Amino acid sequence: MGKGRLEAFSDGVLAIIITIMVLELKAPHGTGFDALGPLMPSFLSYVLSFVYVGIYWNNHHHLLHAAKSVSGAVLWANLHLLFWLSLLPFTTAWMGENHFEALPSAVYGFVLLMAALAYYLLQRLIMSTDGPDSLLKKAVGSDWKGKLSPVFYATGILTSFWQHWLAQALYVFVALMWLVPDRRIERAIKH
């Protein structure tokens, strides 16, 4: 079975998620600088989520690129990942409108955590479908980023009830960690 339509469908869903989040940035009624101020938390949430969806699209691109073929189970693992990412517009809006308060920040982290686990599951499934000499397996290697991220998200969820800015700092930190493009797969393909 080809990878083409899986990529096309995922691209479509990710493109829509990344774009409809901006609909939560409602145009304010006033036209002064003071009308923009209250939008700041929503805007910052949007930027963070935009970067996260960008990271997922980027890594997904590399992941599928290195995959040899996809099975029925891979299709569903991919939909499972898209499900959690599809909740990002909701959690982004909730966190932004409520100025990063405790529970919205925790729920935001929870969705990130579930998406990370879904991505990990998808990666494992593709590896096992590809068999022992999986190009992806070599490329991913120890996958310390993939293993560290859920730990940070979980810490973020817990700290959001104590000091919510610490949770935000953790979410930003993980995003920056992934922003460095994943050259492992590019390298493995070249060799």
Distance CA 70, CA 1 (A): 6
Q: Is 150 in the site for a second copy (CB under 8 A)?
A: no
Q: Cα 143 to the chain's mean position, in Å?
A: 16
Q: Which residues 19-58 are close enough to bind a second copy by CB under 8 A?
A: 19-20, 22-25, 27-28, 31-33, 35-36, 47, 50, 54, 57-58
- Considering only 13, 117, 158, 188, the residue that binds a second copy (CB under 8 A) is 13
Cα dihedral 109, 111, 117, 123, rounded to 10, equals -120
Cβ at position 167, least distance to a second copy in Å? 14
Binding mask of the shown chain, residues 83 to 112, with x at each position contacting a second copy by CB under 8 A: x--xx-xx--xx--xx--xxxx--x-----
Residue type, 173: F
CA angle 44, 118, 13 (to 5 degrees): 60
Cβ at position 44, least distance to a second copy in Å? 13
Q: Is 17 in the site for a second copy (CB under 8 A)?
A: yes
Q: Of 161, 152, 151, 119, which is closest to residue 136 (Cα–Cα)?
A: 119
Task: Compare residues 56 and 171 and give the one whose CB is closer to a second copy.
Answer: 56
What are the C-alpha distances in Å from 184 to residues 119, 138, 145, 179?
17, 9, 12, 14
Q: Is 76 in the site for a second copy (CB under 8 A)?
A: yes
Cβ at position 19, least distance to a second copy in Å? 4
Structure tokens at 4: 């083409």
Distance CA 27, CA 38 (A): 11
Distance CA 168, CA 147 (A): 19
Q: Is 162 in the site for a second copy (CB under 8 A)?
A: no
Task: Compare residues 30 and 151 and give the one whose CB is closer to a second copy.
Answer: 30
Q: Which residues bind a second copy (CB under 8 A)?
A: 1-2, 5, 7-9, 11-20, 22-25, 27-28, 31-33, 35-36, 47, 50, 54, 57-58, 61, 65, 71-73, 75-76, 79, 82-83, 86-87, 89-90, 93-94, 97-98, 101-104, 107, 179, 181-183, 186
